Structure 1
Amino acid sequence: MSCCSAPTLSNEPRIPRGAVTPEEAQNVISKLNAVGFDVMRLTSRGERREKKLQKDTECTKIFYTPSKKSDQGAMLVKDIWEVAVGNTESKLLTNFAFQEGETAVVIRTKMGVEWCLLLKTSKEAHQLCTGIATLVRSQRAMSDQDPIRARIMELWITADSDGSNSLDLHEMNALMKRMNVDLSTKATAAALKKFDTDHNGTLDFDEFIHFFHFLTEREELRPLFNKYASDKMIGIRREGFARFLREEQGGGSVAEADTLFTKISEGRDAVSFFQFCLFLTSAQLNSALDPATGFHIKDDMNLPLHNYFVNSSHNTYLSGDQLQSHSRVEMYRRALLAGCRCVELDCWDGPNKDPIVYHGFTATSKIRFEDIIKAIHEDAFVNSDFPVILSLEVHTSPEQSRVMAEALQRILGAALLTTNDAAFQTYTPHALKKRILIKWKMNPEDSDDSKDHDGDTTEAHPTTPLGPNGPKKHHGSNCPELSALVTCGAHKTKDFGASAKPYHIQSYTETKVEEFAVKCPADYKRQNMRMMSRIYPKGSRINSSNYSPVLAWSLGAHVVALNFQTWDEPMIVNDGFFSRNARCGYVLKPPYLRDVDDHSGSDAVLPAQRVDFVVMLGSQLPKPANAVRGEIVDPYVTVRLFGAGEDSQQARVKTPVVNDNGFAPSWNTKGSFITKNPELAVIGFDVFDKDLDADDHLCTCYLPVASIRNGVRALPLRLASSGERLPHSTVLVHFQISPL
């Protein structure tokens, strides 16, 4: 799998919960619907253009007038990834001369489209920002409540290119190609004629709904439907649906079955075949990831911090490679919104006593330390309340280290846990909710725990003697003011953590972990039961590729830091591993990696498991990089198991290729894996498009084995090129996971 940049890294929109009241936000929405909002749009040439910003009556898109081309002047609400006020790193605002009182609102989509709108006052800017944010949240809520109608509406809006509220043959042909449906113009015309009940040569929305029903029914699922339908024409009644959940899907309470039945049947007495097909292929209603762990905190969060794996980022500021890429404040926002709970800041002296962050002695660009801390303060607890660790690598002079200390206290305020606070603080994720911890030296006389610039380590360890010159010294090695804020103390253990405190942490390069795995795995595991470890990539990964985190997890390492800007296979494994426990960024380690007094030698608490599966079919698969145009794809699926020891050594399973059918391919391919460490195992599904030269990687789904539900389940897919969620694309898999 090739590594690629991930411009939509966080996979979650950055939508503020705002600076104005809900009433004011609703007033803005009403104004957008009626008279519109007067704005100045800043063009790519830096020119101001007077515009009227409005929304449609369905709240599905915002648009400005006048516009030379309707598609350039409109933005679908579902595509909005970020809306923010002020300096948001927009290139359009670099060195821009604002007029007095003028404030910018920047709106970005998942595809990278950006609008920069200028308003006369800061208040108007915050009102517009919160109003649009409210629109986005409302549409997401409606999509969650009725995902089927949301999908139909999305396709309808996309297809209706001329805004006529009807689809002609030209628009239908374009939609079929976009949806990867191999339907000739003649066949599309026949379908249009069949569902055009008022015989006007086009489909209105109600007619399009019936066409969508026709398109999405899967005859492969008919035998399963007939098994539980009391009458094949009427459908599956309530009692039959409860029996289906019990016999095929592994259970569910009577109340859960009732609620799901009512939702799928839309309040009717029976579930139709169309509704049954859409339910099974909906990753929202029928996800393979158990909602009990995917959407709820299931782990005990009251154990000391060193009992957890922590979703962690390396050189968080970088947007690309390690030598020449841009450093961006935005990368911290994206990492935090993606569930990351430990971010890294490499701090250096900046001009005018203003500390900066960048990859030292490289051509990477520089950003202000204070701007990063402001971004962290804003977004640290948007998607998770559990603590955030700031891993500082300090190269600053004592003077600028004191500037950093002042900025941390001033900006983070009560969220910052200080050394004095720590004396009275219980170090558990629950007790540390909405607190920010600093990782550095707790005492000025301690040795710094930082990496050299080549990415290797100089830290002392029983298996790694110090070099002749000792560890590398940094300017900021003596700053009591900064040390007074440290609550996650860098510590170089010489006795595998026997004399360490649970809040102590030591950093190692990935190659050192490989060495531990060969020379002293038991000792290193016990060390990780006493204190924390942070692992980071070796220095030769200048392209910001990632190493597999599984080995470090299997030895109990906690903070396994990856290059979040690179959406490659190890990063996808990491994302899948942390998809459990409500994506809060903390996963409780299995007991055999927590109990220092356990000498049983067992490497698992759950018994070994057999994972049997059938890759049944696909639904509405994307084109490469989610392109609108291009050939219809020829999809196939590969399946692999990632885990500790022998778990990762099993051969992958591959389905046959289905030619010219990305909308409704069928494979029916069986496979199985054995996992001896199910708590650490991740199963990965990758969908490819067969090509004459290199096959295109379309989408992925990686899930922790311990959180998969048995039965016929839909995989929640992500775009392979960026990690963007694909809420309406899925692969249907039948799982049967059982102990050996």
Structure 2
Amino acid sequence: MSVHQTSEKVKYWKMESPQTCCEQGHQNLEAMKAGMFLRKVKSRTWKRPRHYKLQEDCKTVAYKSSWAIKSYSTFSISDVEAVREGHQSEALLNVADEFPADRCFTLVFRGRRGNLDLVADSAKEAQAWIRGIRALMDNMENMDESTKLDQWISDWFLKADLNKDGRINFKEAKKLLKMMNVNMNEEHACCLFMTADKSESGTLEGQEFVEFYKMLTERTEVLDLFHYHSSDGQSLSQCDLEEFLREEQLEREGSHEHALQLIDRYEPSDTARKNHSMSVDGFLMYLMSREGCIFNPERQSLFQDMSQPLAHYYISSSHNTYLMEDQLKGPSSVEAYIQTLKRGCRCVEVDCWNGSNGEPVVYHGHTLTSKILLKDVITTIANYAFKASEYPLIVSIENHCSVEQQEVMARYFRDILGDMLLTNTVEGVSSELPSPEALKRKILLKGKKIGMESESPTGEVSDEDEAAEMNKDSLASESPSTDGKKSKHNLCKELSDLMFCKSVHFHSFEHSRMSANPHEMSSFSESKARKYSKEAGSDFVLHNTRQLTRVYPSGMRTDSSNYCPVDMWNMGCQIVALNFQTAGMEMDLNDGLFTQNGCSGYILKPEILRKKERLFDPENPEEHEDHHPLLFSVKVISGQQLPKVKQKDWSIVDPLVRVEIHGVPLDQAKQETKYIDNNGFNPRWNESLQFTIHTPELALVRFVVEDYDTTSRNDFIGQYTLPFTCIQPGYRHVHLLSKDGTSIHPSSIYVHIKITQL
């Protein structure tokens, strides 16, 4: 990635290998490198030994079955999000009577990859892996960008060094180029190789490989920018950098002091730092840093007013939270709640049904999805509710239980959640809901509630709108396991009294305006919500300034696919529930919106969606008195180290970049660059795209990189989504994410952003 690697930055290659670096201060790594058999557990009946071994790079674990001879599979330590000790998974709880807790541990992976549950032969061996992996994770977490870069270069060197002799020949170098996703002319590659081979040995060693890498990764587009702003053509003085920040990056903090801070933070050369100047290497490190990223770092931390009523916020919300896969036969798991809550979700769904032995269960009714105990779900919620965010968690209850099992439900909610459960609600006391700030670390239940004493405690217990929708649409209702009848039960007062939000049937916007209480919430299917948005957009927006609205996917989505949430956010709908387990554009948009404001799960809606006296219609934004459209210009300059879509040696991607605008209908747009033949390593586009943004406060921008294919659909490479209001202008890097939302460092695209008034 470096334009010109300084001698100070390559000490890593001369002084110590990754192996030496990892071994320092940690004796458990030797046991991991020696390898050992660990029992992989999937269920009570599936428990099989696998040989696990930490590789010499100290970043990869290889494993194979006892019957396999050579075929190892691998996973990267960087993909591990957490290590849990003991029986902290459903699979290990199922074998708790067979294997003691001190021999058991679980590796939790980033994204949507399933957990790995393991049992060691002894507590000592289990601790070697638990402590060893945690130490390696800490080591990677604490790396600065420069060290991560060195590690990345080291990875490629180790991959290219096929005979492991600490040097690579030209044949290995050619293979390396293919591995690095670049198709280079052999004559040119040979010329670079010979230039780097200072010792004329016909091979490249540590420092020589760095020189070869420097030439491969030379960023002429960054060099040109650097030289343009450099007074002497050699470095950026403090004044040069200050001018660049002010004129190009449009940073308010483009002061003398801020420029000095960036030099101290990113300049690798001691000499340059002492002279208060920045070399081209430091300049590139700044551009690749969090401060040089397209996402304004000031908006990544908690910056919004959290003292307004709940109805004034978008709330990150999950649908069928218990499911790991589809809603016909996929597994239900408490792990799904853990993953969803750790991603900052603030509204989860619990579908409760009568279970055996008087124990309520959670699953997707009348389907082949597996069942889990309600008490396990509530325990999991209690343990993970506030790990990612301290702001209130809403538990949306679909209640299909008898009165007897509802009483059990009420007892579990009270006993397990304890003081976290908010129960002191009185109808009609306030004209608006409390704020997220006032409800910190509180769990709010949403469901059917017995209102005034005159109301009958009988009737359909589940959410009326969703139950009707599911009965009408869901293919699952044709399952032979259902009797085709909607069950009706009395509503248990003990459970009713615990509800903070009351589920009510929606009659009309006028009825709601005249008689609804702020704690009452209606649920809409995606099709019904879309119908209201087309027919009465302003009324829908006004309704959502006072009431909470929940939108859920159609029952026809048996594959647990998602609808586009932006259409619902445009109406001010707060609880737009998505299937978190399903990757795709819809979840990219959800992640993009909720990445801001400290990943708290609460985003203050734009003022146009909060004001009762000034109506806003998303279908006609130009009619609003505050209509001030902007011109959004994106110059897509280059790409860096894009991953290969197909892992075949001969496959090289032909990348293109698409920029998508998601917002009010008038703003919906997409444009894309041409594709670049056979270069995923350092493609150059230099193409400008322009968009008119009529309602910037509701717009999301999604950058997508694809591998062009003439005969079939383009393959996805990476994406990055963020709110338009969080974009930093100037020269910025867009750090790409995988399909499941995890980083694919160091893959990025380099752009120039300009935003002007029309």
Q: TM-score range by the shorter chain?
A: 0.7 to 0.9
1:619 equivalenced with 2:654 (yes/no)? no
Q: For 1:306, give the aligned amino acid.
A: A
Q: CA deviation at 1:544?
A: 2.0
CA RMSD of aligned residues (A): 3.7
Structure 1 equivalent of residue 238 of structure 2: 238
Q: For 1:607, give the aligned amino acid.
A: H
Q: Deviations over 1:116-155 (max 9, x none)?
A: 4324677985785466335324412314575534543454
My pick for the range that moved more, 127-136 or 220-229, is: 127-136
- 2:50 and 2:558 map into 1 onto residues whose CA distance is 42
- 2:250 and 2:132 map into 1 onto residues whose CA distance is 43
- 2:527 and 2:74 map into 1 onto residues whose CA distance is 50
Contact 1:283 1:715 in 2 (8 A): no
Contact 1:28 1:127 in 2 (8 A): no
Structure 2 equivalent of residue 3 of structure 1: none
- 1:574 and 1:553 map into 2 onto residues whose CA distance is 10
Q: CA deviation at 1:348?
A: 0.8
- 1:196 and 1:421 map into 2 onto residues whose CA distance is 79
Q: 1:74 to 1:538 in 2, by over 3 A?
A: closer
Contact 2:28 2:131 in 1 (8 A): no
- 1:684 and 1:101 map into 2 onto residues whose CA distance is 45
Structure 2 equivalent of residue 729 of structure 1: 747
- 2:533 and 2:90 map into 1 onto residues whose CA distance is 45
Structure 1 equivalent of residue 705 of structure 2: 687
Q: For 1:360, give the aligned amino acid.
A: G
- 2:590 and 2:323 map into 1 onto residues whose CA distance is 19
Contact 1:498 1:527 in 2 (8 A): no
Q: CA deviation at 1:559?
A: 0.4
Q: CA deviation at 1:719?
A: 1.8
1:361 equivalenced with 2:366 (yes/no)? yes
Q: TM-score, normalised by structure 1?
A: 0.84
Q: For 1:276, give the aligned amino acid.
A: F
1:305 equivalenced with 2:310 (yes/no)? yes
My pick for the range that moved more, 554-563 or 397-406, is: 397-406
Q: Deviations over 1:9-41 (max 9, x none)?
A: xxxxxxxxxxxxxxxxx9997331466699750
Q: CA deviation at 1:110?
A: 5.0
Structure 1 equivalent of residue 569 of structure 2: 553
Q: Deviations over 1:223-268 (max 9, x none)?
A: 2111112333x32233212211111111234333222222322244
Structure 1 equivalent of residue 620 of structure 2: none
Structure 1, unmatched stretches of 5+, are 1-25, 459-471
Structure 2 equivalent of residue 221 of structure 1: 222
My pick for the range that moved more, 70-79 or 673-682, is: 70-79
Q: CA deviation at 1:69?
A: 8.2
Structure 2 equivalent of residue 700 of structure 1: 719
Contact 2:310 2:433 in 1 (8 A): no
Q: For 1:216, give the aligned amino acid.
A: T
Structure 1 equivalent of residue 293 of structure 2: 287
3-state SS of 1:667 partner: strand
Q: Select the residue among 364, 388, 398 that pairs with 2:403.
A: 398
Q: 1:134 to 1:271 in 2, by over 3 A?
A: same
Q: CA deviation at 1:289?
A: 0.9
Q: Deviations over 1:580-635 (max 9, x none)?
A: 2122211101122112233588758573222111111111111227x475610001
Q: Deviations over 1:39-71 (max 9, x none)?
A: 7501587344787x7686x86456799998899
1:633 equivalenced with 2:653 (yes/no)? yes
Q: 1:173 to 1:410 in 2, by over 3 A?
A: farther
Q: Deviations over 1:293-348 (max 9, x none)?
A: 12x11211111111101111111222332222222322222222222211111111
- 2:672 and 2:345 map into 1 onto residues whose CA distance is 32
Of the two structures, which has the highest relative contact order with CA contacts closer than 8 Å and spacing of 6 or more?
Answer: 1
Q: Select the residue among 322, 325, 328 that pairs with 1:323.
A: 328
- 1:628 and 1:221 map into 2 onto residues whose CA distance is 31
Percent pairwise identity: 32
Q: For 1:455, give the aligned amino acid.
A: E
1:31 equivalenced with 2:36 (yes/no)? no
Q: 1:74 to 1:130 in 2, by over 3 A?
A: same
Contact 1:216 1:274 in 2 (8 A): no
Q: 1:249 to 1:92 in 2, by over 3 A?
A: same
Q: 1:505 to 1:28 in 2, by over 3 A?
A: farther
Q: Select the residue among 443, 446, 464 that pairs with 1:439.
A: 446
- 1:65 and 1:570 map into 2 onto residues whose CA distance is 36
Structure 2 equivalent of residue 23 of structure 1: none
- 2:389 and 2:153 map into 1 onto residues whose CA distance is 32
1:572 equivalenced with 2:577 (yes/no)? no
Structure 1 equivalent of residue 39 of structure 2: 42
CA radius of gyration, larger in = 2
- 2:190 and 2:330 map into 1 onto residues whose CA distance is 50
Structure 1 equivalent of residue 4 of structure 2: none
Q: For 2:216, give the aligned amino acid.
A: L
1:665 equivalenced with 2:662 (yes/no)? no
Q: CA deviation at 1:477?
A: 4.8
1:336 equivalenced with 2:341 (yes/no)? yes
Structure 2, unmatched stretches of 5+, are 1-21, 473-484, 618-622
Q: For 2:524, give the aligned amino acid.
A: Y
Q: 1:329 to 1:516 in 2, by over 3 A?
A: same
- 2:151 and 2:381 map into 1 onto residues whose CA distance is 33
Q: For 1:658, give the aligned amino acid.
A: I
Q: 1:110 to 1:69 in 2, by over 3 A?
A: farther
Q: For 1:634, give the aligned amino acid.
A: D
Contact 2:538 2:615 in 1 (8 A): no
- 2:355 and 2:404 map into 1 onto residues whose CA distance is 11
Q: CA deviation at 1:709?
A: 0.7
Structure 2 equivalent of residue 261 of structure 1: 263
Q: CA deviation at 1:497?
A: 4.2
3-state SS of 1:310 partner: strand
Q: 1:401 to 1:141 in 2, by over 3 A?
A: farther
3-state SS of 2:149 partner: helix
Contact 1:293 1:580 in 2 (8 A): yes
Contact 1:634 1:657 in 2 (8 A): yes
1:249 equivalenced with 2:284 (yes/no)? no
Q: 1:483 to 1:437 in 2, by over 3 A?
A: same
Structure 1 equivalent of residue 496 of structure 2: 483
3-state SS of 1:686 partner: strand
Q: For 1:392, give the aligned amino acid.
A: I
- 1:473 and 1:544 map into 2 onto residues whose CA distance is 23
- 1:196 and 1:109 map into 2 onto residues whose CA distance is 41
Aligned residues: 693
Q: Select the residue among 667, 688, 700 that pairs with 1:647.
A: 667
3-state SS of 1:624 partner: coil
Structure 1 equivalent of residue 420 of structure 2: 415
Structure 2 equivalent of residue 461 of structure 1: none
Within 5 Å, give how 1:89-108 maps onto structure 2: 98-100=98-100, 103-108=103-108
Contact 2:352 2:401 in 1 (8 A): yes
Q: For 2:578, give the aligned amino acid.
A: L
Q: For 1:83, give the aligned amino acid.
A: V
Contact 1:607 1:739 in 2 (8 A): yes
Q: CA deviation at 1:170?
A: 5.4
Q: For 2:614, give the aligned amino acid.
A: D
- 1:69 and 1:90 map into 2 onto residues whose CA distance is 31
Q: Deviations over 1:693-732 (max 9, x none)?
A: 2221211122211110110111121123x33222311111
Contact 2:542 2:615 in 1 (8 A): no
Contact 1:77 1:135 in 2 (8 A): yes
1:429 equivalenced with 2:443 (yes/no)? no
Within 5 Å, give how 1:701-716 maps onto structure 2: 701-716=720-735
Q: CA deviation at 1:187?
A: 5.0
Q: For 1:81, give the aligned amino acid.
A: E
- 1:40 and 1:410 map into 2 onto residues whose CA distance is 41
Q: 1:532 to 1:524 in 2, by over 3 A?
A: same
Q: CA deviation at 1:557?
A: 0.8
My pick for the range that moved more, 129-138 or 693-702, is: 129-138
Q: CA deviation at 1:79?
A: 2.3
